[in-house]
Amino acid sequence: MNFVPKHRWTWIVLVGLSLVAGCAEGPLWRLGAVNPYVRQQWQEEEELVSSRYSHVARLRSLSDQLPSMNEEQRQRLSAELAAQFQDTADSMVRREIVLAIAQVPTATATDVLHKAQSDQSEDVRIAACRAWRRRGGPEAIHALAEMLGGDTDIDVRLRATEALGDFQDPVAVQALGVALDDKDPALQYRAMQSLKSASGRDFGNNSVAWREYLQGGNPPDQPESLVQRLYEWF
């Protein structure tokens, strides 16, 4: 037989006992505000969140200041950011470090970007795509090609494909062929859009023509019709 208290004071006593026994975060967690232990725990969590977002805000502010720093400051800063990237378990902080350090042309910064490519967090790897895109140069093309061909997350591969479209380089064009041959329609479409930018050619969304071009052929350009463009916009 289930015991169901019928009197109001019985319920009050049971609630009080549950709070004293440390059950305030169970079914009665909303009553935790009257428990000093729970209130302290909530305060510590709020301070942790506040500290986290304050750190992120500082990193973003620092990123804006980097272009005006001298070489010595950049070297010192890249070493500090690299140490933070290695030590922190917070993926949000690692992501912001990657975006900030992309603007520092040092060997230490480049090493962080390479480490970010294989980070356990897809958000950090996406940030690496953005960072290499911002950094530019042959090393960035090779890094983005590696991420496009080797990463298992579709969002990371989409970002790498998009970034490669910024490089008017034969290596970038050939790297995009990996995405063009992928079975994911979104990745194929993104590859064709990036190929237009990287190659200067326009075969619309004709994947057959793009494959012919990548294999050394010279099919005629097939720009999209106005109807196709309107369809994409809407």
Above 90 in pLDDT, residue 27? no
Residue ranges matching CATH 1.25.10.10 in the chain: 74-135
Prediction pTM value: 0.72
CATH number for the 141-234 domain, one of 1.20.140, 1.10.1660, 1.10.3470, 1.25.10?
Answer: 1.25.10
- % residues pLDDT > 70 (the chain): 71
At 211 the pLDDT is: 94
CA 20/CA 126 separation, integer angstroms? 47
Work out the burial of residue 50: count CB atoms within 10 Å of its CB; fewer than 13 is exposed, 13-18 middle, 19 or more buried.
exposed
How is residue 126 written in tokens? Answer: 């996406």
pLDDT digits (tens, 9 = 90+) for 164-180: 999 999 999 999 999 99
36-55, pLDDT tens digit by residue? Answer: 544 455 454 444 444 666 76
What is the maximum span of the chain, computed from C-alpha positions, in angstroms? 88
pLDDT-derived band of residue 203, with 50, 70 and 90 as boundaries?
A: very high
Position 38 scores a pLDDT of 46
What pLDDT is stored for residue 22 in this prediction? 45
Q: According to CATH, what is the number of the domain 74-135? A: 1.25.10.10
For residue 233, what pLDDT is reported?
52
User: What amino acid is encoded at 159 in this protein?
Assistant: R
pLDDT tier, 119 (very low <50, low <70, confident <90, very high otherwise): very high
